[in-house]
Structure 1
Amino acid sequence: MTSTTNAEIARADGDLRIALLLGIANWFLFLDHIPHNFVSALTMRNFGYSGATDLFVFIGGYAVTLIYAQMTLERGFLVAATRIFKRVWQLYAAYIVLFVIYVELISYVAARTAAPEIISEFNITGFIDHPVRTLIYGLFLQAKPLNLDVLQLIIALMAFQPIVVFGLLYVPNATLLASVTLYAAARVLDWNLTSYPYGAWYLNPFCWQLLFVMGGWLALIGTRYAPAIRAMQAIPALRATALLYLLFALTIVSSNEIPALAQMMPSGLSDMLLQNDREDVAPHRILHFLTLTFLFTWLVPRDWGYLRSYALQPVIKCGEEWLAVFCAGVFLSFAAHLILITGPYSLTRQVAVSFAGIAAMTAVAYYVSWSKQQDNKSPVGAHS
């Protein structure tokens, strides 16, 4: 069992597609977090049910499971569990710092620019009315500031990662089945975590955990089924069916923005498929994402030559340093939004702030990578 799993981890490790997709998810999340931004029309959410959040959670589950499963096999479960909780603490610390500074900055900007609607738009009204209470709830991840929901979700999912890693290593299919069962129960019984001052989490962790676990399952077990998956991908009828489903999803999503297209849809179909599909990650949304994965892995194999091209290195680097890039993206999206609402509304400004933000995120990724390299240099190497 251990030797087989070690071999599978070795085959999965070093896949540049993981960093590529994490980088793309970070860039798309940044663009999606800028309200009324034309450039965000190019992101995943505009072409189907799933979006950058789905990609971020799934690939995040793949990456962290791969890392800590290997650590479990090499150094033991206890060591891996403590390393996971160390990462959870780092994520939590990043969340708290972002939450406090984020709220203070938005309040300050709203007062200075005489634009109080920003407070409501970024969902921090409770902080103005009850600052201490809101901060306390924020410490318990129960506040709901806009654009921090993804990091909030990742913290919750990572907290249970030791159990997930152990299960995926020794009873992978049973662990996946348990995840599916929890997902179904949460949807049927309406389970979610409460938020302050009202409502529940934007991203229900009891439901979104399924994508996270599926990513981990694919990382550890996917290679066993790789021949079967490749055989399925070689069937033209299956590829055509997958493509038709993606086109159907594109039509449904587009009908929400194009009245003429909406009139051609059966009554209530668009509302049924689009209503509240993000909070509880609806089944058709998961199916859409898996369909994308099916076609992506067929079109972009692991040994795809362009993965090492210079053109893709910036986005891959952003994927390798995903936490720092994500945190930077939260602030940059707010800064971009501020620039757009305090100046003339133009396409040029939207494009400029979007590309400037992506450039800044890339610079952060390269700096963090360089800084790690300096920290890893030995004293002897530093003086040689």
Structure 2
Amino acid sequence: MLQNTFGGGSNPTISARMVPKERDTRLDVLRALCLLTIFVNHVPGQYLEYLTHKNFGFSDSAEAFVLISGLSVGLAYGGKFVSGACLALTLKIWRRALALYVAHIMTSIVTLAIFAGGALYFGRQDLISEINIRPFVEQTEQGIVAMVLLGHQLGYNNILSMYAVLFLMLPGILWLNGISSRLLLVFSALLWLVAGVFKLVPSNFLDEGYWFLNPWSWQFLFVIGIVSMTAIRQGAVLPRRPLLIAIAAIYLVVSALWVLFSWWNIDLSFGLPAVLTGFDKTFLSLTRLSHVLAIAYLVAVIPAVNRLARLDADHPLAMVGRHSLPIFIFGTILAMVGQVLLFVTGRNPIAGTLFVIVGIGLHFVYGYYLEWLRGVVSAKPMRAT
């Protein structure tokens, strides 16, 4: 089914009219690559961090992951939000939102325990000053309430809360998508623009800051994925035109040079809002949005590129991508351990790199375990009642 999402063959366009019955692993594989890259980036100060694509362009794996999530949602729920099934599907989606919320709280608590344990065991109380833990420690009662109400976020523990909000919004998104995908896209774009211009973003309770990933901004990328998959399912085509390929490629080259040579002092704003000309991650500036979409377009229309992601269903990357939530939780906790390790070793990049290499291997081990567990559960005979 995803053949037409990422292209294939030598046809000049990508069509969804021929839909294979077998599972296409390309979304799983690309999702796994995002998960592994997020893990690497969440252990800053080691050598592998400098090899990830955030060092060669405006966007990073967070944007890619959100876009893939939108495509996956469009694939999973597209056409199902119809009269008579809306309530059941809404409850199912909100149950997923609850799972994301619980996962966020759990990883935040475990992160606190890891850093507090490191401070106690290694006698490094300065660990408590890392990743926004200090306000929670100094205002514990308020901090507990703030964390439960998503009013305080620890560093590197702020993606799942944004996803939980997106899934709370998802029934409304699917409903509007059923009426008109164009109307949904326009409404989503306006919300993204208004949020960026007027800084509409959920606030933190313990300080004057706000969420690192603004759901009112990031929903636009999520919606783009949903609308794109909806169009593909309805037989739309994605043209593979030399001019579009050239524009996307030139933009990626310019953004790579911009980052590599630190051209951040160049002002091309012309008085326009920062959301249109800046590089802010919180409000998903247009530069970052365009970058991830340019990458996605090239992956979709260049057969030699997208074929690389077509792997067997039992390939380690495909298995990791199929279990994205538990793998992400596992990677987040592992990354927090890695941050403490780097801290107490004086930011030793060799120790950090070795830890990340082992951690990547553990991701695959855990993916194999989850796949084995799923097979055991599905093969278990039903009890007679």
Cα distance in 2 between the residues matched to 1:191 and 1:331:
30
Matching of residues 200-215 of structure 1 within 5 Å: 200-215=210-225
CA contact (8 A) 2:278 2:285 kept: no
Shift of 1:351: 2.8
One-letter amino acid of the counterpart of residue 180, structure 1: A
CA contact (8 A) 1:32 1:43 kept: yes
One-letter amino acid of the counterpart of residue 181, structure 1: L
User: Unmatched 5+ residue regions in structure 1?
Assistant: 1-6, 257-261
Shift of 1:350: 3.1
Alignment-derived partner of residue 247 in structure 2: 241
**What's the secondary structure of 1:304's corresponding residue?**
helix
Aligned partner of 2:67 among 51, 58, 66: 58
Aligned partner of 1:328 among 330, 334, 339: 330
CA contact (8 A) 2:165 2:215 kept: yes
CA contact (8 A) 2:157 2:332 kept: yes
Moved more, 152-161 or 95-104: 95-104
CA contact (8 A) 1:144 1:196 kept: no
**What's the secondary structure of 2:117's corresponding residue?**
helix
TM-score by length of 2: 0.85
Summarize deviations over 1:244-264 as a string: whole Å, max 9, x none.
1111101111123xxxxx5xx
Cα distance in 2 between the residues matched to 1:48 and 1:269:
17
Matching of residues 110-121 of structure 1 within 5 Å: 110-121=119-130
Alignment-derived partner of residue 259 in structure 1: none
Cα distance in 1 between the residues matched to 2:248 and 2:309:
25
One-letter amino acid of the counterpart of residue 342, structure 2: L
Shift of 1:305: 6.9
- In the alignment, does 2:144 pair up with 1:135? yes
Moved more, 298-307 or 197-206: 298-307
Summarize deviations over 1:106-164 as a string: whole Å, max 9, x none.
12212322323322221111121111211111111111201111111111111111111
Alignment-derived partner of residue 295 in structure 2: 292
Matching of residues 158-307 of structure 1 within 5 Å: 158-198=167-207, 199-223=209-233, 226-227=236-237, 229-230=238-239, 233-235=240-242, 237-256=243-262, 262=263, 267-268=266-267, 277-300=280-303, 304=307, 307=310
- In the alignment, does 2:371 pair up with 1:369? yes
Change in 2 beyond 3 A, CA 1:127/1:175: same
TM-score by length of 1: 0.86
**What's the secondary structure of 1:164's corresponding residue?**
helix
CA contact (8 A) 2:57 2:256 kept: yes
Cα distance in 1 between the residues matched to 2:286 and 2:246:
21
Cα distance in 2 between the residues matched to 1:19 and 1:90:
20
Change in 2 beyond 3 A, CA 1:225/1:117: farther
One-letter amino acid of the counterpart of residue 224, structure 2: M
- Greater helix fraction, Structure 1 or Structure 2: 1
User: Unmatched 5+ residue regions in structure 2?
Assistant: 1-14
- In the alignment, does 2:45 pair up with 1:42? no
Cα distance in 1 between the residues matched to 2:261 and 2:67:
27
Cα RMSD of the aligned pairs, angstroms, is: 2.9
Cα distance in 2 between the residues matched to 1:123 and 1:274:
28
**What's the secondary structure of 1:192's corresponding residue?**
coil
Cα distance in 2 between the residues matched to 1:75 and 1:225:
25
One-letter amino acid of the counterpart of residue 162, structure 1: P
One-letter amino acid of the counterpart of residue 282, structure 1: S
CA contact (8 A) 1:157 1:205 kept: yes
- In the alignment, does 2:101 pair up with 1:92? yes
Alignment-derived partner of residue 10 in structure 2: none
State how many pairs are aligned.
363
Cα distance in 2 between the residues matched to 1:111 and 1:220:
52
Shift of 1:279: 0.8
One-letter amino acid of the counterpart of residue 243, structure 1: A
CA contact (8 A) 2:29 2:321 kept: yes
**What's the secondary structure of 1:148's corresponding residue?**
coil
Identity percentage of aligned residues: 22
**What's the secondary structure of 1:160's corresponding residue?**
helix
